[in-house]
Amino acid sequence: MPDKIKFTIDGKDCYAEPGQTIYEAAKANGVFIPVLCHYEGLKPVGSCRICSVRANGRWMTSCTQPVTNGMVIENATPEVEAYRKAIIEMLFVEGNHFCPTCEKSGNCELQALAYRYQIMVPQFPYLFPKREIEAFPGFLLEHNRCIQCQRCVRAIQTEDGQKIFALKNRSKDLRINVDLKLAARMTEKEVQKAMDICPVGAILKKEVGFRIPIGKRKYDQKPIGSEVEENK
């Protein structure tokens, strides 16, 4: 078995298995790196850029970049944090995120990151784009809240491997598209999985909402990432 890789995050000595990405290795060493498009068990795509770090001085997405021996990583530095804050703010102004009306509020990863970085107001002007809400037999697709992370595209498939969610259009018109026939056949469990995997409130299971009382939701008391940081 090859030896462990030694590297540093913000000056702290860390160790990784060969082949581990910076994100995975950081997590194993009790260091939180935020992710939005990445999800445990899915092939990383590195599209949201929120997990960017400076590795040996260069910007890299930590969910896709493997750790190498002696790598020097800057993670919680003012520069990297300011960059992440700007990405979160851009996501907030670029869609229509009305948190008070959202069923996912309190369990939303985008919102939780904004709480963690103590964003009181975005530095960019709100765009208020015109987006649709689509209804399917088991769920709603709220395009106002979608951040195009593609978690649903990668994670939700039929038993024979057909994708139910896909991307359509490009650039600012990029949208999640749903296969109507396959979506109609989704079981309650599959719909729940799709809703859970969505970092925001874009995929919503019908006929349930606001089930968990305020104060008991996932990110009400503790910031996102605190479970990672408690490891070390």
Partner 1 sequence: MSKPVIATASLAGCFGCHMSFLDIDERILELIELVEFDKSPIDDLKKFTRPVDIGLIEGGCCNAENVEVLRYFRENCRILVSVGECAIMGGLPAMRNLIPLKECLEEAYLNSPTVAPEDRLIPNDEELPLLLNRVYPCHEIVKIDYFLPGCPPSADLIWEALMALIHSQPLKLDYPLIKYD
Question: 169 or 221: whose CB is closer to partner 1?
Answer: 221
The vertex-165 CA angle with 161 and 166, nearest 5°, equals 100
How would you class 89 by CB atoms within 10 Å of its CB: exposed for 0-12, middle for 13-18, buried for 19 or more?
middle
Nearest to 66 by CA among 10, 12, 149, 7: 7
Does residue 105 interact with partner 1 by CB under 8 A? yes
Which residues, 6 or more positions from 88, have their beta carbon under 8 angstroms from its beta carbon?
Answer: 50, 110, 113, 114, 117, 119
Q: How far is the CB of 93 from partner 1 (least distance, A)?
A: 9
Does residue 130 interact with partner 1 by CB under 8 A? yes
Q: Pick from 6, 82, 128, 168: which binds partner 1 (CB under 8 A)?
A: 128
Q: How far is the CB of 97 from partner 1 (least distance, A)?
A: 8
Q: How far is the CB of 228 from partner 1 (least distance, A)?
A: 15
DSSP label of 66 = B
Does residue 187 interact with partner 1 by CB under 8 A? no
What is the CB neighbour count within 10 angstroms for residue 33? 27
Does residue 98 interact with partner 1 by CB under 8 A? yes
Q: Which residues bind partner 1 (CB under 8 A)?
A: 96, 98-102, 105-106, 111, 114-115, 118, 120-121, 125-126, 128, 130-131, 144, 214, 220-223
